[in-house]
Amino acid sequence: MQKRGTAVDFQEQFLTIYNEKIHRAGAQQLLEWLRRTDFFEAPASTRYHCACRGGLVQHSVSVYETLCRHFPLEGENEAESYAICGLLHDVCKANFYKQSTRNVKNEQGRWEQRPYYAVEDQFPYGHGEKSVFLIERFLRLKTSEAMAIRWHMGGFDDAARGGSSAVSQAYQKYPLAVKLHAADFLSTYLVEVGTSAVPNGHPKPSPYPAPPKAEPAPEGKEE
């Protein structure tokens, strides 16, 4: 489960990783563009994971950390690719959501206002392919990076759901694409449980650390 933090905390983590790992031409211009969008304020989804202020940058940091945790680097050059793919795979969600509130009955049967997110895509170009397009306006991607970002949704991608076999071909040729999809999947469904401000039936993590487990008493000795 992801460590709790504020939108500012995750933005600082994002910027630290970005500036330490990504040195390709155009990287700073891309970062300046991100600052002009709502990328650092936007949610990552309408309700399921990181549906909260700053949820998109929280999810991006989480995917990067999950990628590094489960798939050790195979070379120094791969460090930059991990950062690009982990941090930027969902830039397609910048300027994508709108926030509002709606009246919902609480457990006591009283009406109260709760946050609500809806899709209002200002640039309907797809999902993974949109991220690739937006990134490459500033920064040249390697083929493996472009494939990973394009197909990070795996079987959930609209093209794959429509019957396209290109995702399978990409996964066979580019291991990075498989790694990013796995990291995104693990982060969304395991690491980020309870991160949404929007009610969705998922359990909320406790704000307090779990108490240490008691050591078992030695055999033959009573407490």
Is residue 200 in a domain? no
* Least confident range of 71-85, 98-112, 128-142: 98-112
Alpha-carbon gap, residue 5 to 118, rounded angstroms: 24
> Encoding tokens for residue 180?
């990013």
Is residue 165 in a domain? yes
For the chain, the domain total comes to 1
Phi and psi at residue 108, in whole multiples of 5°? -90, 5
Is residue 103 in a domain? yes
Residues contacting 33, CB < 8 A, separation 6+: 137, 138
pLDDT digits (tens, 9 = 90+) for 40-65: 999 998 877 888 889 999 999 999 99
**Structural domain boundaries, residue 62:** 7-191
Longest dimension (CA), the chain: 70
Selected residue with higher pLDDT from 222 and 188: 188
Is residue 213 in a domain? no
Amino acid at 97: Y
pLDDT digits (tens, 9 = 90+) for 13-35: 999 999 999 999 999 999 999 99
Alpha-carbon gap, residue 137 to 213, rounded angstroms: 52
Is residue 216 in a domain? no
Is residue 86 in a domain? yes
Residue 145, SS3 per DSSP: helix
Is residue 207 in a domain? no
Is residue 136 in a domain? yes
